[in-house]
Every structure is written in structure tokens, then in C-alpha cells.
Structure 1
Amino acid sequence: MPTTLHPSSSRPAALSPLLGMAWVDNQAIPVSATTLMLAALLILVAVAALGLAWLLQAQASKTKRLQAELLAQRTWSKSAMDALPALVLMHGPDGDVLDTNAYGRQHPIAAEAMLVAIKSNDLTVTPDGEPEPYEIDYTDDDGTHRQGMLWSQPLLALSGERTGSISFLFDITAFRDAEQAARVTERGLREIVQRVPVAVFSILKDTHGVRHVTFAAGDVRALFGLELTDLLGAGDVLQERPLQGRIHPDDVAAFGRLISPVTTDLKPRSLDFRAFGREGLRWIHGTLTPQALPDGSLRLIGYFIDTTELNARNEALRIARDVAERASKAKADFLATMSHEIRTPMNGVIGMLELLGRTPINAEQRELLRAVEDSAAVLLQILNDILDFSKLEAGDLRLDETPFDPRVLVDNVVSVMASRAQAKGLSVHVAIDATVAGSLVGDNVRLRQILLNLLSNATKFTERGSIAVRVVVLADDGAQQHLRVSVSDTGIGIPREKQAILFNPFTQAEASTSRRYGGTGLGLAICRHLVQLMEGSVELSSEPGHGTTVGFEVRLPVERREAAAPAGLRGRHAVVRLVSADTGTALSEHLKSLGMTVELADSAAPLREGMAASLLFVEPADTESETRISAHVVAVTDEPLLSTGIELRQERLFLSANPLKWQSLVRACLNVLELRDDVAETHGLHPSSEAVATDADPPPSSLADLPTHRGHILVAEDHPVSQKLILRQLAILGLSCDVVDNGRDALEALSGNDYAMLLTDCNMPLMSGYELATAWRKHEAENRSPRRLPIIAMTANALAGEAVRVRNAGMDDVLSKPLQLLPLSQKISQWLPEQLASTSASPLGLHDLGLLTGLAGDEVPGLYDEMLQAFSSASHDDLVELRHCVESGDPAAAALSLHRLLGALQLFSNGALLDQGRGLLEALHTGQAREVLPQLPSFARDVELLLSNLNGQPADKPVN
């Protein structure tokens, strides 16, 4: 039945356009079924068309994307081929080139040679079916002969059919050249090792422990008496049995460990062993280095070399070293003995001369006494030079680095030498840069020794003119200063050809130098050794007739930058108006170091009006300048003044520039400005104003200002003459003492008395000084003594080891013989500061004769007579003891008695008798002791005869 559509019925939205005309005036129009079917069919066709259009569009997009990816892949492949450092060709089955990379396009000749090689050679493959490369030779575009490795890979279709090939050509010219060079090198090495007694090898120890020789070269027969083939089995396996048969039986085990290392220990190892080679038993040195490989195997690389001759030389050197060490020890023993034997009489000579000089003697006697003192000092200096040089040669000398003031050091050294130079009419000048630090760190004792030696040489070899000391700063990095210290003179000069040898020991410029000027020729050699020990250098420049300059350079750490100057001087202004430019410059550098500002004024021009300064330094004759300026005046003179370097004359202060000393300048500034020396007071020194000399002051004594001490001291000394000397010296210093002659009595005396100090000789009978000190320190520890007794050793042994031995024994300090008053007083002041009775005593002069009543005068025995009496008495006992030792056949006791006798005999005899005694003493210490004993009675009779002659009495009967 027909369907009626009503306006209110639901309609699909898609049908509205088609049916929109069906409504007219909202009246229903009947539609047939055919119409509806046609409409539905049209809708389906439209949907299908839309879906097909979408599918076509998606397929087109995918095709474009695939084309882009394919193009990118082709581009990447092309770039990769172009980036290869090799020639690549792609060709079809017929060999025609389809494509090549950038390398091929750049090298067309190489590509052509490659294509010819491909066409002329069938493609070869390995047994596994892989392509096998082969080499070709060709000429490059530039005409260079090249070598290449050609490799081709077939291109197969899915069906397995070959569609073409891709070929690669790698340039291996550099590798072949290197390989050829390696072959040449290897061949050269093989030729070399074949001509020297050495074998180089490489062994591969596989995971089964089998050792394969992968490389071997060298003269194996010379080393082991075998050919290389004797050591190799099948597969180049190392055969140990033949090799071990050639090794010395005592070295087989060690050799086995050398060539069979465990894999856990990969350190290089070496061995010296013996083997029977072509020429008999040889010494061989083997070195082997293991290397673990990734597969668990071990590679051993090493060498064997014949060291028979080297071992022979080493053995000869060892024997020579032993001989040298024995000789060095003998030399050290000889030096120790000579030091003791020489210093013991020097103790008496210099000490007695010092005491004699303090007695009332006339001018002629004093002149003679000074000559003797100079000779004794020269003898002691020669001894010290020889000992120092021996210590330097033996390497026993060590630097003791402490802070020191370089300006004070120069002052002290110049003060020692100035009087000697001025006595010859020489002027002494000193100049120190203001930039030199106030305190440096170094061995000031050795620096003083170097400078003193250079000054001594300059004074010795200069007859007229001047000597100059200069200290300049060459570099300063803040922590260290590089200094140059030089000494110049106007002396005889040195020829250029002689200058190079002057630093050799025992060498002087001329053969006559030693006779004319004295000395040993060791001074400059010692200076060079000391400077080298400080890592410095020494230079000498000289011209005959125009003087010599010797300088040394050292680098020293800076301990304090500013000089130790009184605070009252800092910031003041000084005007220097002197004729000598050098003196004015040196003075201004010192003033700048004091923290002052300085103005150098021309001495030829008058001072300008209105000038003002705290200090004015002028010539002695310049009295006008001080009227033009308001300042305190110091007259600078070239005249040598007293040891203080300043002098007050008619209310005017004079400062000596000959030499210009730092401490003298400080004292001059403080005195004219009436200031206190706060630096000296801080360090406990005397106020500088007390050091000013006046016109009425008498000449100072050489031992001026010796302090007077208090206290009771024990002296352990076995020789009577030395006992007399130390008694006199301690009495002069205000000390009382007890004297014992052996260590055992000293220990007993210490236990029963309260002594302030112990002075002990080191070598005494019954108990030595070392044993005494050790025993007393043990006593103090066991009894918990509240006070440690100061113990000072007295020794004639000046070698370096003696000081160490003394301190190891428990002693506090050491005094070298011969003892002198000033060092003795200084040591006592150091260890007994609370016992100081006076530190400002007047110089010991004629008013001290109450202590020395028995040392002079015609009514009482003189000093010589007193010492002779002590020597005669002690020698009588020694001679009796010597005869008893001979009768009992005791060489050791005889040597001790003879040693005591010779120690005093040297004060009264230096002839053949003394030489005979020394020879006998030396023989007693050797295997000839029994043969020497019968000779001692004859020597004793000769000593008795000498004693009789010294005492003016006939030798009527022997001592018994």
C-alpha cells in the first residue's frame, strides 16, 4: 500500500535535499518505492566514491614518502661511499662501470687500473667461499708508484644469479713502506746483535704452559755455547734441557724462575747469572718483561747480555773502593791523631802567650810576643784549612742554616781584617745595597769563613791601594734573594793562564808565593767547595798589575725583609755631602736601610738656603755646611778609628769610612741624635752610646770587656801542663775549680759536691770523658735530679764526627783545644748565665795582676819555670810508669804512658827526640808492639837528658 509521509515524521538529514520538493504547502505527496530505492542507490554510490578517493589519496602520500626515503637512502649511501678513503666501483656482469665514489672520480687513473685488474683476474674466493683480496701495483695521477689492496664482492639477485660486483681498492703504499722499513730495521738489528754478545728474544707461553719462541736474534753461541736451533723443538717450542745444561749449577734455580714467571706477577725482573759460553764461564745479565694477553697466554720479552768484562771492572772498582775507604779511614784516623797531637801543644802555646801578653812587659818584648802570636795563629789556620778540606773531601761537612743579619756578618769579618790591612797602609771600603734583606737564612759561619778567606787573600797580595767588599742583589722573588758578594783589591793581579788552577787544592799562582806570602793554597779550594755546597758559584777576574776581584753568588731565603734598625731613626732625613762619590753612595745605601730618606749633595756647590735635615754627613774639614743647615753633623773620615768605628773629638762626632761599618753608622746616628738603641736593648746588648771612644780613651785590650763569672767548677784533665793553664784561665774569669786527672775521680767528686759545671777532657785514663758524661747523665736520671749539670768537652780532635760523639755521650757543648780566654768565657756565659757577676767589667789590663802574681817578676819563678816544673814532675812519673810497662811486657799501657809524655814534651821540644817518640807510639799501635818495647828504655834516657838540660842540672842517674 502506498506510504504517506507526514511533515511531523522523522527524516534523515541526508534525504532532505532530495525530498525537499515533496512538500508543497505542507501537503502530503505520495512517493513510490522505486524512487526510494533509486535514492538509496545514489547515496551508496556517493559514499563509495568518497572512500575510493580517500584511499587513492593515502596511497599517493605513501608513495611520495617511500620515494623520499629511497632518495634519502640513496643520498646517504652515496655520501657514505664518497666518505670512504678508498676507491669504490660498481659494475655490471660484463664489467662495465655503473657507478663510483668521490675517490674514484678524483683518481681516474687508479680507477682505470683497478678496472683492468678486475677484468684480467678471475674473482677468487677463500675455502669458506669468501672473496679473497689481492694486491696490485699502479701509477697514480702524479706519477707516483702506488700499491693497493683490491677486494671484490659479487652482487646476487634473489634467485642467486650474479648481477654485478662492487670492488674496493685500498691504498697500502704507506703500510708497505713501513713494513719495508721495519724489515730493514730488523735486519740491521739482527746484524748488530749478531756482532755483540747479546741475545734478544720473545717467548709466547700459551694457555697450556708451552713456551714458543716467536722471535730470537743475537749471538746465542757466544753466551751459551749453543746454536739457536739447539734450543727449538717442533713448532718453535723452547727446549729447556739444553739451555739449563749450560747454566752454572748454583744459578739454575734462579734462572728457571726468571724464564717461568707466574701470570699474577707481571713486574719486570732481572738476574745476573753464570753460563758456559763459547769462551768458557761467562757472567750474563738477563732482563725479562712479562705481558698478559687477552686469551690467557703470556708473552715474555727480554734480552741476555754478556757482562763478564763489566763484572771484572766492577770487582776491580769494588777492590779499589775498599782500598780507598781503608785509606780514607786511615787518613781520618791520621787527621784525628794529628789534630790532637798538634792542638795539644798549641793549647799550651797560644794559651800561655795570651796570659803572657797580660803581664807587664816592655815594648820590645810585646812586639816579639805579637810576632809569636801571629805565627801561632798562622799555624792554627793552616791546621784548620787542612781539616776543613779533608772534611769537604770526605763529605763530612754539613751546612747549619740559621737566620743571620748579612750587614752584621760583613761588619764582623771586615773588623777582623781591617787592622791588618790598615797596618799595610791599605784602605778598606764596604758597600751593601739597601735592598739586601735584614735577615737571611744560611750557614753564617761558613759564609763568614768564605768572606774572611777572600779578604785575607786580598790583604796578603796587596801592597798599596785599597780593598773593597761589595754585596749586591741580583734577583729577588720575594722568598729568596740572589746575592753576589765580591772582594776587590789593587794588588799584584794574576795572569790569565794561572787563574783556572787557583781553585785547585795546594795550588798557588807562582812557586814563590808560598815562600813569600805563606799559606797552603787551600783557601780558594775550600771557598769553592763551600759555595758549591750552598748551590752557588765562584768567579775570579784579574789582570796583572791591576788587582783581582773574586766574587761568589748564592741564593738565600729571606727571613725578614727590613733591617734591624732602631725605631727612632726611621722616617728621618739625611743629607750626604762628601767628596768621594763611592763613599757617599755606600753611606746613602746604609742610611736607606735604616729607613731614612737621603739626599746626595754636591760637595763642590754650596748648600741651598732653607735646607733641613735630621743628619748631615760632611768631610772633616767642612765646617761651613753645618752653618747653612739645621742638622746634627757627623764628620766622615778616611782615617781608621778605634774598633767602634766612631770617635768624639772636641764635641764633634767622627765616623770612619775606612771601613764604613753598619754598626758604627747606627751608633753614630744614635749618639748625635741622643736616642736609645731599642734594638740592642731588646736583645740584651749594651747601649750603643757606651761604645763611643774619646780622645782620652786608652787603646782597648784585645780581650776587652771579658765578663767576670761566679761559681765553682770541676775540671777533669789528665795532663799537668793543661791543668795549670785551665787553672790560670778560670782564675782570670773569676771562677774557682777543683781539678782531677781521670774520669773515675771526677765521677766520685761529682757525687759528693755541688758544681756549677764540668769541664772534661775526652781522653783520660781509667774512665774517658765520654764514659764520664754518660755515667753522670744516668746518675741524674736515676736520682731524678732537679738540675741538669752543664758538661763541656775539651778536645784536640777537630773532626766533624767528634762533635756528634760528644753530644751522643750526653755532653752539652765542646771547646776545641787550644783553649783561649774569650771562647772559654763565651761558653761559660752561655751555660752559666745566672753565674755572671759583671758584664761591663773594665778591660783586663795591668790592674788584674793580682790574679797573675806568679806569672812574672824576677823575684819569683816565671811562667815558663812553673810550667817546666810541672812538666818535669809529671814526666818523672810517666817515665817510671813507662819502664814498669816495658818490664811487664804491656804494650797498651806503654802506649798510654808514652802518649801522656809526648803531650807535654811537645811544649819543650820539637826535634828528633819528639819524632822518635811519635814513631814509637805509632809502632805500639801496630803489630810491631813487641819489637818496639825494648827500644823504650833508650828513649826514656834521652828524655831524662832533655829534662836535665832544661833544668840546668847534670843527668847523674836515671829515673827509676
Structure 2
Amino acid sequence: MNAVLGLAQVLEREPLADNQRDMVERIRSAGQSLLTILNDILDLSKIEAGQLRIESRPFDLAALLANLDSLMGQVARSKGLSLRLEAPSNRLGPLLGDGLRLEQVLFNLTGNAIKFTEQGEVAVHVNTLESSASELRLRFEVRDTGIGIAPDALTRLFAPFAQADAGISRRFGGTGLGLSICKRLVELMGGVIGAESQLGQGSSFWFELPFVRGSESEAAALAVLSPPIPSGPRLIGAHLLVVDDSAMNRDLVERALHLEGATATLAADGLQAVQLLQTRPERFDAVLMDVQMPVMDGLAATRMIRGQLGMLDLPIIAFTAGVRDDQQAAARAAGADDVLAKPMDLEQMAVLLTRWIQPRPASFQPPVAAEPEVVEAFPEIAGIDSARASQRLSRDRDMFIGLLELFVHDNTDAVSQTREALAAGDREAASRRMHTLASNAGFLCALDLMASARGLEQAIDQGETDLDKGLDALEKGIADLVAASAPWR
């Protein structure tokens, strides 16, 4: 997902023909939908395991509601609906609570209301129920003029995987996890949630939450954390060290940094990063460090940079697919200044880097808009879904060839490396190698290879020992793909 969404963001900033831009938007939309489902599943798993923590930090409710109005208003207008927002006219000042989880609940309820409404409006109401000098209690309500819900279905709506009826899933999609997660989050934040509805007459979903009022110093801190909208490249002259074992991720980050005026040196593991910093310690303004890598992982490399090299002031940003709080805390404990979760949002990455980097002056010419080139046909290669690859890469044939070359270079020996790891009793390394292969094959749309590698990864993780047949078949599949793609490399 990191590669798909990230490269789609990069492509959107390139000069594209209308049909190409439409395909990029479709890629991003489909990717975001899949990411939403994955995040729902992960959130539910964390809640059930007792690993989801509710934060208490200052946040600006007015800014949160403005963001909701801006983003969901566009979605509503695209369906011919209006989104109406009613909130207290007086600014409530900073509140202490989990603003991100509050936003998650509001976006989920508002998104549902828009999804199930064909005409009319969706209204979001925020009312103060109780207020004192130090605390207040707010009621949030999302009303729609949509299809409504039968009374007997209301009682089960907040259960996991529940929807009003089977036809809802077929017609509107979704997993049925959203409302269950909303209920759990609201209760974890000390609130209550409910719904009223009549079939054919719309619905009202509401929740109430307590908040503590923030101080003036916290209000000032919020103002500092709200940067202006950028008008151009924000990292001009900066030089970053990008450390990731995935060639595709390195390529993605390098492209994104170039668009912001920065340059990048690339390293494939933590040991290479340490060696580069040992040789040229003054060269880099910051390090983007993946956490999970072979040879030397990001945590060990970060500890060595801080300890053995004594580079205490060099900003290190860890990026990781780990979603648990303890995984992100481990990165900070190792010496990382900040953590960026995968899949990376390129805008979020740029904003985060501006907090840590003081770019050096340098000449930078942003990409010049040009007439779209004539699109060449994608190569037809046995083992690759060329049509899907073409759509995923917005018909960028050169990028496809480049990724194909990277895939062959990085994965031709994947099976032999896995066998060696298994023979040495290192099942973790074997699993990680299959995980990387599956990810790379999926991005290239070599779907059979992806499925085979993923199956082997799961078998290794589950402790299975009879793996030879699967490894033999996968090795042959890779060899066939390498041979079939030779004319295009």
C-alpha cells in the first residue's frame, strides 16, 4: 500500500493527460478504500487485544470540524448532496482529548451518511451539553435524509461485521466494522453512542464525549503546529539519507524528495547507513530510516548512530509498518526523533521533515510542465497482468520497465536465499524474504508469484516444515518470469 498510494501521489504532481489523471485518481481511490478496510481490521484487533491507547493531547475542535467540512463536503457535492455543519459560534479554545480518534469517528459517521443518502442533505451538529471553567461535555450528531434503517436492525448495527441487511453490503460495499469501531472508540474515550432511524426517512447517529479545557500555553503550541499551505518546494537544498531494504520504497521516497527540492542518498540496510555517516558525517541534514531490514535493522543502526558515532543532533525519522504503540515507542527509545507510519503520505512526510530540517541554499528547478508524450503499449509478459500494471502505473511504460529491472535484480535468488535461511534455522529471515518478494511481485502485478510467496510466508510463520514443493514451484515461476521479461530489460 505504501508503494501504490505513494507513487500515485507522485504521479498526480506530474504533467498528465486527462485520461491518465483519471486513472491515477482511481488508483488512489481504490487504494484508500483498501487502506480503510485494513485500518478497520487493525483497529478492531488492537481494541480486542487491549493495545489501543486513547491519547490526551491538545487539539483544535474548530480546525477538526473545518477539515471535516472541507473533505467530506467534496464527497457530498460529488453526489449532488449538501453537507451542513452546525457548531457553537464561540470558539471553545483548545481541548484535551484524542483528536485523531474523534476525527475518525466523525469521518466514519459522516461518510456512512453520505454513502446511504441519494438526495437531500447530511447535517453535522455539535452542541454543548455541560460546561465549566475546566471541563465540558459535547454532543455530536450526524443526520441524513437517506434510506433509513429498520427498527429490528438498529439493535445489531454496532456489532462487528454487522450491516442492516445483506443487500446493503452488495449495493454499497464495506465490511460492517466501522460502527463497531466507533462504539468501542467512543466508550474508550468515556462517552456514549447511539442511533435513531426510520426506514425510508433517514437516520441520526450521535455520541457524547467529555473533554478537559486546554490552557493558553497549549493554545500557543497548537498555533505553532499549524503550518501555512505550501506554495512551492519546502526542502530546497536539503540532502537526506534514505534507508530501506525495498528498492521500490527507496525510489518512491527519492522521487517525492526531488519534488520538494531535496536530494537523496540511498542505502539498503542499517549497516550501509552507518558506513555512509561514518565517511561523510557532515553531508546529511536528516535520515529516513526503515525499522525492519536485513543485515542491520533500523533500531540497531539508530542506536549505533547515536552511540558509537556520537551524532546526537542529526534528525532521524523512523518509518515503519508497525501500527502498535509499543513498536513506535521502540523506535523513539532507540533514538529516533520522530516516527512516520507506512504507507507513507507524501504530504505528511514533507510537513514532518520541515520541522526537523533547515535546508541549505541550492539551485532547484521544479519540474516543468510538458505536453504528455505518446503512450507506448505495455509489454505483454507471461506471468504479469499487463493491463492491471498499466492501470496501476498510469500507463507509464518507462516506470514499469524500471520496476521490472529492479524486481529481477532483487528477487532472482529469493528462493535460494530463503532455503539458506531455513537451513540455518532462521525462520524469521526466511519469512521476511518471502514477505518482500510477495510485496514486490504484487506491485509489479505478478499475481501468481505474489500469492505463492504470501502462502509460503504464512507457512513459515506457522512453523510448517514441508516447504520444498512450494519453494520449487516458486523458483520455477521466478525463472519463467525472468526469461519471459528478458527482451524488455
* Alignment TM-score > 0.5, same fold: yes
Q: Deviations over 1:56-83 (max 9, x none)?
A: xxxxxxxxxxxxxxxxxxxxxxxxxxxx
Q: What is the deviation of 1:884? A: 6.0
- Asked if structure 2 preserves the Cα contact closer than 8 Å seen for 1:347 and 1:819, the reply is yes
Correspondence for 2:359 among 835, 839, 842: 835
Q: Deviations over 1:29-73 (max 9, x none)?
A: xxxxxxxxxxxxxxxxxxxxxxxxxxxxxxxxxxxxxxxxxxxxx
2:6 counterpart of 1:471: no
- The farther-off stretch of 476-485 and 417-426 is 476-485
Residue equivalent to 1:919: 455
Q: Deviations over 1:625-655 (max 9, x none)?
A: xxxxxxxxxxxxxxxxxxxxxxxxxxxxxxx
Question: Which whole-Å CA distance do the structure 2 matches of 1:821 and 1:485 have between them?
Answer: 31
TM-score normalised over the length of structure 2: 0.86
Q: What is the deviation of 1:679? A: 12
2:142 counterpart of 1:487: yes
Correspondence for 1:734 among 256, 261, 270: 261
Q: AA paired with 1:454?
A: L
Question: Which whole-Å CA distance do the structure 1 matches of 2:299 and 2:288 have between them?
Answer: 12
2:279 counterpart of 1:752: yes
2:52 counterpart of 1:397: yes
Residue equivalent to 2:79: 424
Q: AA paired with 1:774?
A: R
Change (3 A) 1:797 1:947: farther
Question: Which whole-Å CA distance do the structure 2 matches of 1:908 and 1:416 have between them?
Answer: 31
Residue equivalent to 1:388: 43
Residue equivalent to 1:779: 308
Change (3 A) 1:532 1:899: closer
Q: What is the deviation of 1:893? A: 5.4
Q: What is the deviation of 1:708? A: 3.7
Residue equivalent to 1:942: 477
Residue equivalent to 2:467: 932
- Asked if structure 2 preserves the Cα contact closer than 8 Å seen for 1:854 and 1:861, the reply is no
Residue equivalent to 1:455: 110
Give 1 or 2 for the bigger CA radius of gyration. 1
Question: Which whole-Å CA distance do the structure 1 matches of 2:426 and 2:224 have between them?
Answer: 61
- Asked if structure 1 preserves the Cα contact closer than 8 Å seen for 2:129 and 2:137, the reply is yes
Question: Which whole-Å CA distance do the structure 1 matches of 2:51 and 2:226 have between them?
Answer: 35
- Asked if structure 1 preserves the Cα contact closer than 8 Å seen for 2:441 and 2:447, the reply is no
Change (3 A) 1:504 1:486: same
Change (3 A) 1:436 1:395: farther
Change (3 A) 1:865 1:520: same
Question: Which whole-Å CA distance do the structure 1 matches of 2:450 and 2:119 have between them?
Answer: 43
Change (3 A) 1:899 1:473: closer
2:154 counterpart of 1:499: yes
- Asked if structure 2 preserves the Cα contact closer than 8 Å seen for 1:743 and 1:767, the reply is yes
Residue equivalent to 1:867: 403
Structure-to-structure mapping, 1:450-849, within 5 angstroms: 450-559=105-214, 686=228, 707-753=234-280, 754=282, 755-779=284-308, 783=310, 787-832=312-357, 834-835=358-359, 848-849=366-367
5+ residue gaps, structure 1, are: 1-345, 565-677, 692-702, 842-846, 955-960
2:68 counterpart of 1:413: yes
Q: AA paired with 1:751?
A: Q
Question: Which whole-Å CA distance do the structure 2 matches of 1:849 and 1:857 have between them?
Answer: 20
Change (3 A) 1:951 1:722: farther
Change (3 A) 1:837 1:400: farther
- Asked if structure 2 preserves the Cα contact closer than 8 Å seen for 1:891 and 1:933, the reply is no
Question: Which whole-Å CA distance do the structure 2 matches of 1:419 and 1:773 have between them?
Answer: 42
Question: Which whole-Å CA distance do the structure 2 matches of 1:829 and 1:872 have between them?
Answer: 36
Q: What is the deviation of 1:460? A: 0.7
Structure-to-structure mapping, 1:72-471, within 5 angstroms: 346-434=1-89, 437-471=92-126
Change (3 A) 1:448 1:709: farther
Question: Which whole-Å CA distance do the structure 2 matches of 1:398 and 1:501 have between them?
Answer: 26
Q: Where is the strand percentage greater, Structure 1 or Structure 2?
A: 1
Q: What is the deviation of 1:546? A: 1.5
Q: Deviations over 1:171-224 (max 9, x none)?
A: xxxxxxxxxxxxxxxxxxxxxxxxxxxxxxxxxxxxxxxxxxxxxxxxxxxxxx
- Asked if structure 2 preserves the Cα contact closer than 8 Å seen for 1:855 and 1:863, the reply is no
5+ residue gaps, structure 2, are: 378-395
- Asked if structure 2 preserves the Cα contact closer than 8 Å seen for 1:878 and 1:900, the reply is no
- Asked if structure 2 preserves the Cα contact closer than 8 Å seen for 1:886 and 1:934, the reply is no
Question: Which whole-Å CA distance do the structure 2 matches of 1:952 and 1:482 have between them?
Answer: 67
What SS does structure 1 have at the residue aligned with 2:122?
strand
Q: AA paired with 2:279?
A: G
- Asked if structure 2 preserves the Cα contact closer than 8 Å seen for 1:391 and 1:800, the reply is no
Q: AA paired with 1:916?
A: S
Change (3 A) 1:777 1:498: same
Q: AA paired with 1:778?
A: G
Change (3 A) 1:868 1:820: farther
Residue equivalent to 2:390: none
Question: Which whole-Å CA distance do the structure 2 matches of 1:740 and 1:530 have between them?
Answer: 40
Question: Which whole-Å CA distance do the structure 1 matches of 2:459 and 2:172 have between them?
Answer: 37
- Asked if structure 2 preserves the Cα contact closer than 8 Å seen for 1:472 and 1:483, the reply is yes
Q: AA paired with 1:348?
A: A
- Asked if structure 2 preserves the Cα contact closer than 8 Å seen for 1:508 and 1:521, the reply is yes
Q: Deviations over 1:863-895 (max 9, x none)?
A: 222222211221224356456668889766544
Question: Which whole-Å CA distance do the structure 1 matches of 2:214 and 2:428 have between them?
Answer: 54
Residue equivalent to 1:876: 412
Change (3 A) 1:836 1:543: farther
- Asked if structure 2 preserves the Cα contact closer than 8 Å seen for 1:437 and 1:560, the reply is no
Question: Which whole-Å CA distance do the structure 1 matches of 2:95 and 2:223 have between them?
Answer: 22
TM-score normalised over the length of structure 1: 0.45
Question: Which whole-Å CA distance do the structure 1 matches of 2:52 and 2:183 have between them?
Answer: 14
Correspondence for 1:901 among 429, 434, 437: 437
Q: What is the deviation of 1:856? A: 9.0
Q: What is the deviation of 1:900? A: 3.1
What SS does structure 2 have at the residue aligned with 1:907?
helix
- Asked if structure 1 preserves the Cα contact closer than 8 Å seen for 2:415 and 2:474, the reply is no
Question: Which whole-Å CA distance do the structure 2 matches of 1:541 and 1:951 have between them?
Answer: 62
Change (3 A) 1:704 1:371: farther
Question: Which whole-Å CA distance do the structure 2 matches of 1:940 and 1:852 have between them?
Answer: 43
Counting aligned pairs with the same residue, the percent is 32
Q: AA paired with 1:450?
A: V
Q: Deviations over 1:773-792 (max 9, x none)?
A: 11222125xx4x5x521111
Q: AA paired with 1:849?
A: P
Q: Deviations over 1:242-261 (max 9, x none)?
A: xxxxxxxxxxxxxxxxxxxx
Change (3 A) 1:527 1:804: same
Q: AA paired with 1:814?
A: V
Q: Deviations over 1:285-312 (max 9, x none)?
A: xxxxxxxxxxxxxxxxxxxxxxxxxxxx
Question: Which whole-Å CA distance do the structure 2 matches of 1:553 and 1:436 have between them?
Answer: 19
